[in-house]
Amino acid sequence: MDIEEELRIIKRNVVDILPGLEELRKRLQEARQQARPLKIKYGADPTAPDIHLGHTITLSKLREFQDLGHIVQFIIGDFTAMIGDPSGRNEVRKPLSEESIRKNASTYQEQIFKILDKKRTELHFNSEWFGKMSLKDTLKMASYYTVARVLERAEFKERFKKKQEISLLEFIYPLLQGYDSVMLGNDIEIGGTDQTFNLLVGRDLQRDYGKKEQIILTLPLLVGTDGIRKMSKSYGNYIGITELPLEIYGKTMSIPDELIFPYMELLTSISDEKINNMKKDVRDEKMNPKDAKAFLANEIVKRYHGISEAAKAGNEFDKIFKKRELPSEIPSRKYEKEKVWIIDVLVNEGLAKNKTEANRLISQGAVELDGKTITSPDFDILMDSEHVLKVGKRRFLKIKGE
């Protein structure tokens, strides 16, 4: 494969290449002359246990680099997760416990290899170097940057203007992320567009420490299922890659129509030609947007659960939402009591995180028993026969007495 074809693949879905395309071309040429793969760095702080579709945009780009023969340096930011990245935030992050970080890091390792090639991945934890870093080394790192420079980042500028808190830990976060690049000596670092400042800090620090400066590739942020904010577990607008096939399918079918083709472009390997043809068919009213969305849902489920599970999820979705029938398989629970409080059922069965959320679901009309909406949080279910409880659009539970 010639360099221009390699560049064409690399550039797909990329927002910015810094300092520019010519620098990337030169780095590729150098690597070929030296008969070595490029080292591509990507870091993720394990602040939540699951990887969602928003993360897969960068993971898929990393896989493309691997398929082109390059090496991915994946950093699990177990040390930096204790601080929290301030990117895109207008308030101080709450610190995570070491136990939570360890658990999340463990699931990250399992999930990233659903996309990445394990043989072409170097896995690093940044506690490897930060855990041993002396105060002298920390002060040396800090000496390369000024308060004025860090205040240039949009989030800090906004918070400073509003006289909102900015912790010293947040202030130092970009330096820590940048120092990861010093330690790894990577050729390229990729991240979302909200990471541009941090990625540039990495480039600056590499230069300050006498290393070759990394080239930066930024990728778009995925809009969540609500069609408003970026996909995030904290916003409740995410689709996790390890969720059940029907859940992934159903959540995808719930996205606004205007997200269908951006999702296709960013989350699937469907060719540009096919996507453009489908866009035209929808525009010319030769294709219903729902059919395009179903095609997308099938592709996403297929990627993470396989062809068979994708087909089953599609059939099950049609059965529930088109034919208004119950799912083929519904989990069942038995209760010894003559009657049970609806709030207890929702919380005990994991249909609500807590009593507050259970009350909210009921007030929103999202809870049904045998097809009838429950309107009162004081409702008791009589265990005289089998009942079907429905929460939201896709969660069902059969409950009955002993």
How far is it, in rounded angstroms, from Cα 46 to Cα 243?
18
Residues contacting 365, CB < 8 A, separation 6+: 373, 375
- The single-letter DSSP state of residue 162 is T
How far is it, in rounded angstroms, from Cα 339 to Cα 36?
69
Number of residues that this document lists for the chain:
402
Q: What residue has token string 């994708």? A: 310
DSSP string, 256-284: -GGGHHHHHHHH----HHHHHHHHHHHHT
Helix (H) or strand (E) holding 7: helix 3-11
Q: Is the peptide bond before 19 cis (omega within 30 degrees of 0)?
A: yes
233 has binding-site annotation? yes
Mapped to the 3 state alphabet, what secondary structure does 292-339 carry? Answer: HHHHHHHHHHHHHHCHHHHHHHHHHHHHHHCCCCCCCCCCEEEECCCE
Q: Which of 55, 61, 40 lies closest to 202 in space, CA to CA?
A: 40
How far is it, in rounded angstroms, from Cα 309 to Cα 311?
5
Classified as helix, coil or strand, 369 is strand
Residues contacting 151, CB < 8 A, separation 6+: 157, 160
Which residue ranges make up the annotated binding site?
233
Summarize the annotated binding site for ATP as residue ranges: 233
